Structure 1
Amino acid sequence: MVHRTIEVRAEAGLLRIALARPERRNGIDDVVIGELNAALDVAEADPDCRAVVLRGSPGVFSDGMNLEAAAGGGASDGGKAFFGLLERFTTIPRVVVVQVDGQVAGGGVGLVAAGDFVHATERSTFALPEALWGLLPCCVLPFLVRRVGFQKAYTATLSTQAVSAREAHRIHLVDELTEQPETALRQLVFRLTRLDGVVIGDAKRYFRGLSVVDARAGENAVAEFSRLMSSPVVRQRISDFVTHKRFPWER
């Protein structure tokens, strides 16, 4: 299958996915979401696959929502699709490993937070800038709260400040700090290939019952995201950026 926004490669025991639009800072839109879901279909159809590895580009993992695509509308559908993708990360009977080497923002933090294991380099940073646009990281927060707790997610949302890799590791957004992500991955896959594949699905299903992410969380996230994206002020800020490359705080 030919992809426009990602690169996919199958290896023994795992499927590698790379976000492949560095010129757009690996922004997330409906095309990216659709292609990521298609890649997950491939992983789920392979009984020997134990892990899905998602990475970005050197220096940037993902800047989150593709603002050019968002300027075209469809916020409600986009929010629903994105939340569904993050939820699938937590339910697919494969271990999702996220490799981060660089900047992560907005929806990119959601991809990280929904992963089962996160390996990051020291130069990586994590930020939720949505409030600067008059938005909130609605779809990201249920998964971020699940990982780091209410207060850390709350302060990250309101401060909009980037968190260093070391701080992300301290608050458990990152599981392992490493300059050798392949070594960390191979050690993990070595253990995973000794598990019955059914166990991974059973573990995810059981832990889902203990988490804050459920159908109601999804409905609330999509509804609030749609409401905020419908604001004339927010729409104008996005339009100004797409047309003039002017950020809201530059007025």
Structure 2
Amino acid sequence: MDSMNYDTIKVRFQSPVCFIQFFRPQANNTINDLLVEECLSVLSQYEDTATIIVLEGLPEVFCFGADFEATINNNGKVKGPEPLYDLWLKLAQGPFISIAYVRGKANAGGIGFVAACDIVIADETAQFSLSELLFGLLPACVMPFLVRRIGFQKAQYLTLMTRPVPVHQAHAWGLVDAYDATGDTLLRTHLLRLRYLSKQGIVRYKHLMRSLYDLSQSKSLAIEANKEVFSDTENLQRIERYVKTGLFPWEH
């Protein structure tokens, strides 16, 4: 697929690095079916030639989770969580180093992208949240990746509190590996070092890590939990009300 045809992302390839930028400014960089499809297409296209994949968003928002408007406009009938889980699996286990470069807000499914990546770099504006339970939903597909990264209890706390945590807290928890006021400079220094690694060495390393912690084993459980909450009529009503009015379920 030619980069000129992408509708939800911007892609550039500077060997050996493939940069994928989420680009849905009109929708707060939320996730829809097309974004998942286009990201999977890019990874399939470059996984054999790129040694590093960099995910980035916009300066104000990395990724804000599911596109609720798309869910409501399609009467809740979207492709479902499986392609998104497969995308995160590819980032976590694919034959490349995956880097999330986070500026601004990362929420809900945005945390899934962060937790799936091998390395997470951020600037001081970054903040991280899981808002799903506010609507009666669950971060079901996010949790296997998040628990792997920061542990059960910290993932549970982030889920239950539903409020954003700043970058210094995310760094202390291990969700962020490195952050600075000037994230661009920090990203460049990491890429300069990572370029020394051979493709074959990365492939072998990722194969080992997949054997040690195979996220595919949690896939069916996570997908079933996700489908359950998105088939709940009350949850869909909460989402629809939020889309139409901007009000959270407890607001009048």
**Into which bin does the TM-score normalised by the smaller protein fall?**
over 0.9
Q: Percent identity?
A: 36
Q: Secondary structure of 2:100's match?
A: strand
CA contact under 8 A between 1:15 and 1:52: conserved in structure 2? Answer: yes
Q: Report how far residue 240 of structure 1 moved.
A: 1.3
CA contact under 8 A between 2:122 and 2:179: conserved in structure 1? Answer: yes
TM-score (norm 2): 0.93
Partner of 1:235: 236
Partner of 2:80: 78
Q: Is 1:101 aligned to 2:92, yes or no?
A: no
- CA deviations 1:143-182 (Å, max 9, x no partner) are 0000000000011111112111000000110000123333
Distance 1:51 1:91 in 2: 13
Partner of 1:12: 15
Q: Is 1:87 aligned to 2:89, yes or no?
A: yes
Distance 2:94 2:182 in 1: 26
Equivalent of 2:172, from 170, 173, 189?
Answer: 170
Q: Report how far residue 33 of structure 1 moved.
A: 0.2
1:69-218 correspondence runs (5 A): 69-71=70-72, 72=74, 73-74=76-77, 77-211=79-213, 213-215=215-217, 217-218=218-219
Q: Is 1:245 aligned to 2:246, yes or no?
A: yes
Distance 1:101 1:165 in 2: 10
- CA deviations 1:185-208 (Å, max 9, x no partner) are 333223332222011121112112
Task: Name stretches of at least 5 consecutive residues in structure 2 with no aligned partner.
Answer: none
Equivalent of 2:28, from 10, 25, 28?
Answer: 25
- CA deviations 1:54-94 (Å, max 9, x no partner) are 1000111111000011222235x421111111111011111
The one-letter amino acid paired with 1:66 is D
Task: Name stretches of at least 5 consecutive residues in structure 1 with no aligned partner.
Answer: none
Q: Which moved more, 1:22-31 or 1:192-201?
A: 192-201
The one-letter amino acid paired with 2:40 is N
Q: Secondary structure of 1:16's match?
A: strand
Distance 2:7 2:229 in 1: 29
CA contact under 8 A between 2:29 and 2:62: conserved in structure 1? Answer: yes
Distance 1:59 1:182 in 2: 14
Instruction: State the number of aligned residues.
Output: 247
Partner of 1:34: 37
Distance 2:187 2:167 in 1: 18
Distance 1:40 1:248 in 2: 38
CA contact under 8 A between 1:29 and 1:78: conserved in structure 2? Answer: no
Q: Secondary structure of 2:181's match?
A: coil
The one-letter amino acid paired with 1:192 is L
Q: Is 1:44 aligned to 2:56, yes or no?
A: no
Distance 1:180 1:86 in 2: 27
Q: Secondary structure of 2:196's match?
A: coil
Q: Secondary structure of 2:106's match?
A: strand
CA RMSD of aligned residues (A): 1.4
The one-letter amino acid paired with 1:136 is L
Partner of 1:64: 65
Q: Secondary structure of 1:78's match?
A: coil
